[in-house]
Amino acid sequence: MSNQVIIRLENIQKSYFMGNQAIPVLKGISLDIHKNEYVALMGPSGSGKSTLMNILGCLDSPTGGKYILNDKDVSKMADDELAEVRNSEIGFVFQQFNLLPRLSAAENVALPLIYAGVGKKERMERSMEALEKVGLAERSHHKSNELSGGQIQRVAIARALVNNPSILLADEPTGNLDSKTSVEVMEIFGKLQQAGNTVVLVTHEEDIAAYAHRVVRLRDGLVETDKTKSTAMAHI
């Protein structure tokens, strides 16, 4: 972990509106995440984990408070500016893998580069580099129906990495995987952290969270506990 703060949340609030009624979901979250941290976000169902991840990933804006990402205040940005930040700084992995079944692994990984206007040759080179980082270079031409669940999730991780984002976010990335495959995926995140990436992921499972170096627990839209392990105690 370095001292460089990548994410600074100051009293983040989020309410959803049902008609005229505001329903508060995040009630004042303050948190710093440093470069190269590996953070697991935990908490009961409905505690606001996905809401917070969507704000971190610039998929949604808070209704109160401040979000500073790499020294930029993204909390007040308009949608188009936010999309730009999302495309250049954020890698997001979802529980549903969201791969396009007719495309190969390499083509799926290259998709964000098409949106970024990168030419075909460079797209394929960068896609292969990202697949190498998740140990799947030899599967680059396979389609999702020829890959296992764990391999598909690794393709989704490679796709999140292909833009060299400053943070890698994953909302329950092992939620659809059996425990052996979950461990495999967690080890990939561990390797990416060791290679210098910053990782924030949501999980329900204590043994999955044990792979992270810091565990932040939410309850009712607030941080309940925030514990960092010494590196020596970390699982990997």
By CB under 6 A, tell whether 45 contacts ligand ADP.
Answer: yes
By CB under 5 A, tell whether 203 contacts Mg ion.
Answer: no
DSSP for 12-60, written as a single string: EEEEEEETTEEEEEEEEEEEEEETT-EEEEE--TTSSHHHHHHHHTTSS
- Return the residue of 12, 40, 42, 43 that touches ligand ADP, per CB under 6 A: 43
Give the footprint of Mg ion on residues 40-69 (CB under 5 A): 49-50
- Return the residue of 4, 11, 16, 132 that touches ligand ADP, per CB under 6 A: 16
The contact pattern for ligand ADP, residues 51-80, with x = CB under 6 A and - = no contact, is: x-----------------------------
Piece of the chain touching ligand ADP by CB under 6 A; list 40-48, 109-117, 132-140, 183-191 = 40-48
**Gap between the Cα atoms of 200 and 31, Å rounded:** 12
**Which residues are 26's β-sheet partners?**
14
Piece of the chain touching ligand ADP by CB under 6 A; list 45-53, 113-121, 153-161, 176-184 = 45-53
**Gap between the Cα atoms of 26 and 16, Å rounded:** 10
**Gap between the Cα atoms of 39 and 58, Å rounded:** 18
- Return the residue of 29, 38, 49, 118 that touches ligand ADP, per CB under 6 A: 49
Closer residue to Mg ion, CB minimum distance, 49 or 133: 49
CB 212 within 8 A of CB 221: no
Piece of the chain touching ligand ADP by CB under 6 A; list 5-13, 41-49, 149-157, 182-190 = 41-49
Q: Provide long-range contacts, Cβ within 8 A and 24+ apart, for 75-81.
A: 75/12
By CB under 5 A, tell whether 174 contacts Mg ion.
Answer: no
Which among Mg ion, ligand ADP, none contacts residue 51 (Cβ within 5 to 8 A by kind)? ligand ADP
**Gap between the Cα atoms of 110 and 127, Å rounded:** 5
Reading the block at residue 53, the tokens are 């991840």
Q: Which residues bind ligand ADP (CB under 6 A)?
A: 16, 25, 43, 45-51
